[in-house]
Amino acid sequence: MKAHHQILIIGGGTAGIMVAAQLLRQKNAKDIAIIEPADTHYYQPAWTLVGAGTYDYDKTARPMSAIIPKGATWIKDKATDFDPENNTVRTETKGDITYDYLVVAPGLVYDFSLVPGLGDAIDKGVVCSNYTDPKHTWNVVKNFKGGTALFTQPTTPIKCGGAPQKIMYLAENYFRKSGVSKKTDIVFATGGTVIFGVKVIAKTLMEVVDRKDINLRFHHKLVAVDGEKQIA
């Protein structure tokens, strides 16, 4: 199949959908298509609440067909290659698609191989991440009986810079309710030098950290995980 679209968007996530919706309001945008392979769109910001047991995972899912803005064409496929000199994108099953304008919004890919041991440990036992399986996070938080609760984040770009802290604050709240906070040491280890990049927010967050008695460790980059021995 050979097809042409005035505006071609790769990725029907938050970015792709919002760009499409904005462009559809402009009269010069006459033909918008979105290449997106997934059947389901997940509202990922709510995964923080799922991890804290306050929101239902199933409610974060919506059929992709309901999310693609009316007026845009959904090409259910995966972009596999670019040929920018010929304004062409290759797809897995539907062949080449040409465009006048291209928007590239396929999101982030997680690469656990950058931290030895993490790929084996993640989403199993006591190792959890809201980025990958917030339901497992809630299981870990719910079943935590005290000890060191280590929250950390990679030094690479991540989806939502605040997410690793948000789940920590919510977990701390739950630990107080479940009665384990007195025998718990919450540690937030980050490779950075500040709690948050925006000064005014950092100031408030430092007050929260103090109030919740969180043990802050700056200059701490996660370099390896031993899931069996529970060592980071």
Ligand X SMILES: Cc1cc2nc3c(=O)[nH]c(=O)nc-3n(C[C@H](O)[C@H](O)[C@H](O)COP(=O)(O)OP(=O)(O)OC[C@H]3O[C@@H](n4cnc5c(N)ncnc54)[C@H](O)[C@@H]3O)c2cc1C
Residue nearest to ligand X (CB): 13
Amino acid at 93: T
**Shortest Cβ 229–ligand X spacing (Å):** 27
User: DSSP for 29-88?
Assistant: ---EEEE---SEEE-GGGHHHHHTTSS-GGGGEEEHHHHSPTTEEEE-S-EEEEEGGGTE
Nearest approach, Cβ of 179 to ligand X (angstroms)? 27
In the complex, least distance from residue 9 CB atom to ligand X, rounded to whole angstroms = 9
Q: Which is nearer to ligand X, 28 or 109 (CB)?
A: 109
How many CA atoms lie within 13 Å of 42's alpha carbon, on the beta-carbon side? Answer: 16
Q: Interface with ligand X by CB under 6 A: which residues?
A: 10-16, 35-38, 44-45, 47-48, 78-79, 105-107, 130-131, 159-160, 163
CA distance to 27, 41, 72, 136, per residue, from 102 (Å) = 18, 21, 14, 37
Minimum CB separation of residue 50 from ligand X in Å reads 8
Q: Which is nearer to ligand X, 47 or 175 (CB)?
A: 47
Query: Nearer Cβ to ligand X, position 108 or 224?
Result: 108
Smaller CB distance to ligand X: residue 71 or 106?
A: 106
Q: Are 146 and 184 in contact (CB under 8 A)?
A: yes
| CB of 74 vs ligand X, minimal distance in Å | 11
With respect to ligand X, which residue has the nearer C-beta, 42 or 144?
42
